[in-house]
Amino acid sequence: MSRPWRVAVASIIQETNTFSPRESTLADFAVQGLWTGAEADERSRGSNTEIAGALERLREAGVDAVPVVRAWAMSDGILAADAMAELERMLVVGLAEAGPLDAVVLCLHGALVAVDAPAADARLAAAARYVVGPIPLVVTHDLHANVTPAVIRSATAVIGFHTYPHVDQAATGRRAAELVLAALGGQAPGLGTVLAKRPMLVPAEAQAIADEPMAGIRRLADALTHGPVLDVSIFPVQPWLDVPHLGFGVTVTYTGDEEVAIAAAEAVADAAWNARADFTLDLVPVDDAVASLGPAGPDGPAILVHSADSPTAGATADDATVIGALLKAGRPLRAIATVVDAPAVARCREAGVGATVDLVLGATLDDRWSSPVAVTGVVRRVDETPVVLTGASMTGQEIALGRWATVETDSGLAILVTERPAPTFDPQGFRHAGLEPADADVVVVRSATIFRAGFRGLHSSATVLDLPGASTPAFGYLDFVHAPRPLFGLDAMTDLAPAARR
C-alpha cells in the first residue's frame, strides 16, 4: 500500500502599514504566539484561521498534514530585517525537516513589508519554492493583499479571502487544501494562477463585500467561476502601503486553459476599474459627530469609527482625539473607548483599583496626528490577561493586550488603556475588560470595516470620522513616494492607457 500524501502547512501573517512610525520585531510575533510543529497545530485547532482550516481539510482527506510554523502578529509598521530573516529561516528549516513533501499550503497576508523586502510575502513564497522544488505550492492571502507578479511566479496557485469583514479565514485554508488535493489527485492538470491589476487605491471603509460596488464585482467573480476557472479572488488592497506594484488585484486560479483565466481576470479587473468612483465614503468631522450623539437607540449604541488609528490596519491606536472630544462635549453619556498608553497603564497600576488618577493620554507612540488629552477618572480594573476573540472574525484567536487598566470618568466615559492595541472590532475586546457595549450609548471602535461583523445587531449607527492618522481613509494626509503613479485615489485619472492593463 502506498503511503498517504504528505502536505506541509505554514502560516506567517502580518499586515504592514508603511506609514506607522514603529518598526515591528520578532517580539511582536512572540507575544501573540510563535509556534512550530505540533504546537502550531494544537493551539490553532478550532480557530477561524487559514492554518486551522487547511490542516482540518487535509486530515479529513486522509492526508499526512504537517504543521510547520504559525507566526501571527497584529498589523504594524515595517518589519525589521532580522525578524524577516528569522521568519524565513523558520519556514525554510521547517519545510526541509518536514520532507519529503508532496505539496505545501502557505498562508501569508500578502501585505507584509520588511525593511529589506518591499514584497516580503513574495520572498517567503520564493524561499518555500526553493526548498520544496516543483510540487504544488498553494498560497493564501488576505483580501487586502497587494498581490505581486513575484508571488504568482513562485506559487502554483494563489487564492484570497472572499469576504470583508473577513469571516472566511478557515474556509480559505480549506479551499487551499482542496486545490492541493485536486492537484495531487490529478483533477487539476496545469493548475496555475494569473493576476490582473489596476492602478487604483480605494478606502477600506468602502470595500465591504455586502455593499456596492464590491458586491457586484464579487457577483461577477462568482459567475465566472466554472469550468477551468477554479477560483476568482478580488484584492482591493489595504491602502496604507507605499510600495512598488501597489494596486487593485484580481487573481484567477485555473486548470488547463490559461487564456480563459486571463480573460476572466481582466473582466473582473475592468469591472473594478469602471466602478472606481463608486467606492465612496462619508467622512464626518469629530466635533460634528460628537455633537449629534445621544442615548443609545433601540438597536444599541452609536459607533464612532476612528479608523484613522486602527491597529488592525497597523496604526498605533494611541490617538486620544475622540476621547478628548467626548470629554469636551461635557454631556453625560455612557461611552466606551480604548487607547494604547503604556505609561498611563503603569500609573493606574501604581495608584490601584478605586483610586482617582489624573492621566495625560495618547500620542505616546505616534505624535504626528494628535496631542495628548488630560483625563481624570477612577481606576476600575488592572489586569494583563489576553482576550480570546468570540466574534465572527478570527474566532477563537487569542490577542495579547500587554498590561491594561480601565478608567471611568464622572461623565460616564470608560476607557480601556492598554500596552498593546485592543481588538475593538470584536465586542469581546471590550467585554473582556468589563465594558459592555450593549450598556453603552457610544462605542469608539478603531476599525475600518471588520467591526461591522462583530457589532452586527449591536449598534444603531456608525459614523466614520474625518481624522488624519497612519490608517486614515483620507489619503491626502499621507505622503506616498514608492507607489506607482498615477494611481486613482491619489491622482486625478479619467481613464487608463491600454498599456497600463495587465
Residues at the contact surface with Zn ion, assessed by CB under 5 A:
142, 144
**Residue nearer to Zn ion on the CB measure, 173 or 377:** 173
Closer residue to Zn ion in complex, CB, 15/318: 15
Q: How far apart are the first and last CA of the chain?
A: 47
How many distinct helices (H) and strands (E) make up the chain?
A: 14, 19
- Residue 389 CB, shortest distance to Zn ion, in Å, is 15
Minimum Å gap between C-beta 144 and Zn ion is 4
**Contact assessment for residue 496 and residue 199, using Cβ atoms and an 8 Å cutoff:** yes
Helices 81-98, 120-132: crossing angle, 10 deg rounding: 30
Closest residue to Zn ion: CB criterion: 144
Tell me how far, at minimum, the Cβ of 148 lies from Zn ion, in Å.
17
Shortest CB 161 distance to Zn ion, Å? 7
Q: Which residues contact 457 (CB under 8 A, 6 or more apart)?
A: 299, 300
CB nearer to Zn ion: pick between 142 and 441: 142
Minimum CB–partner distance for residue 391 and Zn ion (Å): 15
Closer by beta carbon to Zn ion, 18 or else 406:
18
Strands 34-36 and 103-108: unpaired
Please report, for residues 45, 135, 289, 290, 363, the alpha-carbon distance to residue 329 in angstroms, rounded to integers and kept in the order given. 46, 62, 11, 7, 21
In whole angstroms, the minimum distance from the beta carbon of 351 to Zn ion comes to 38
Closest listed residue to residue 86, CA positions, set 49, 58, 118, 114: 114
| Closer by beta carbon to Zn ion, 13 or else 333 | 13
Shortest CB 110 distance to Zn ion, Å: 9
Rounded to whole angstroms, how far apart are CA atoms 32 and 206? 29
Rounded distance between C-alpha atoms, residue 315 and residue 274, angstroms:
30
- Comparison of 26 and 234: residue with beta carbon closer to Zn ion: 234
Nearer to Zn ion, 144 or 174 (CB): 144
* Distance from chain centroid for Cα 437: 23
Which H or E run contains 380? strand 373-383
Q: Is 160 in a helix, a strand, or coil?
A: strand
